[in-house]
Structure 1
Amino acid sequence: MGQIVEDTQTVGNTLLEVGALLMSSGASTHRTRVTLNRIANGLGYEIESLITQRAIMLTIIEEDQKYLFSRLKRISPLKPNFKMVSGISHLSWDVMEEKWSLQQINAELDRLKSLPHYPRWVLLTTVGAAGSGFCYLFGGDALNMLVAFVATVIGLFVRQEATKLKFNPYLCVFFAAFIASFIAGLSELFEIGSQPDKAVATSVLFLVPGIPLINSVTDMMDGNIQNGLVRAINGLMIAFAIAVGLFSSRMILNF
């Protein structure tokens, strides 16, 4: 009996880890719940889960109803990682179809957590290129694109550094929006390029909270109203921080 209880607790802890990783990596509530149920069923367990934006509660019920596991785990702040989301999704299907053991699941989770992230210079360069690309789509010329690139790269760098220093997430967005729009706004002040306003408008687009807003809609469509509203408000708060940062830089530059 003691071994069964211990096994149930091990399974429960693994499932909580899976759920927390999915939510913090940007998965929707519905996807997280479905994935947890798939893994649990593949291991021969039935579960009930309560998933919020900040924590996940899980209860395991065995077939004979004799042994229960119930525990809560906090969810880390959002750090988008689609490698993790897709990797856990593949893992869940392997558990169902290939009857993976708990040891195989934990080994795969350790592998996914150890996967390297993109180098910082790659992230800065590609996000900057995206900013200059948006500037081009909005009608900016080569000089405007260059300004948008530089402003985006520096703005993202500032946000990364502010995050490392553990500032409030909305303050990090404010700092990034302020610096990026201020740098781009200098091109208007010195009349660099044919349409410097396009560089200003696109310099903050890298901060747009796409994941929270998209997940808020999918959560509410799936009936997870509470999580959907929390994510929607979070997205609106980020948008507000962007607007305040942009407004502050415009006030300083007297535009």
Structure 2
Amino acid sequence: MTDASSAQRVFVNIADQLRSDIARGVYADGERLPGEDELAAKFQVASRTINRAVDLLKNDGHAIGRRGSGVYAQTPLAIKHEPCPDPAGPQGREGAWAAGEPRAFDIDCVAITSDPPPADIASTLGLDAEQTALTWMARFSVQGRPVRLTRMYVPDGLVPETSVARRDASPRRLTTLLHDLGLSAVDGVVETRGRAPSGEDCDLLEIPVGRFVLDARLTVWDAEERVLAVEQTVMDTAAYVVSHSVALREAR
């Protein structure tokens, strides 16, 4: 093992130990972790090594920093996300758990805008750089902690000027929105990938820049194979568990 990899293993091992302590309740949820100097003395390492270990905890959701106050233990949430959801199901249909208890989603930051969408969304919708899309956005939280952003993009040209939906930012499923717009989707596909968060993702989800997010995109078409909309769901990876059902049959 090289010197560089050995040094890396030191802060990773410290992060593993602190993560285990949080899981075992040595540091309760919301309890302040020991300071940098105390941890450096305990593990007999430099302060920089402790900083790197604590950054790992922040990035995977086991700790949260509070400016001027310190770093606090945080129990990760466990919210199930089905990678191939039923587009006709109700918004916020997943099950959310915290400390073993079911929790309901709170929805805020609801807004509707008409602007050019991000370049990758525009490409999927077949829009030029100057063309706009109506965007409906909502933020979902559990116990006051933001965990998910949902944005629905529909090309402005497909939305009648007289449509009430142009002014109604209330959360809804994509199929419901398209019905309100007089559009009919007949097919769709969901793609989920991990990526670095954008600045807006970090601000709205209140996460550090080092924590990846899950980006699930539902793209839908009409009978003429015209792309009608993209629904983008951005999830805090420290809060979500991607769940798959597996059918097992006894071998004969």
TM-score by length of 2: 0.25
Q: Which has the higher helix share?
A: 1
Q: Which has the higher strand share?
A: 2
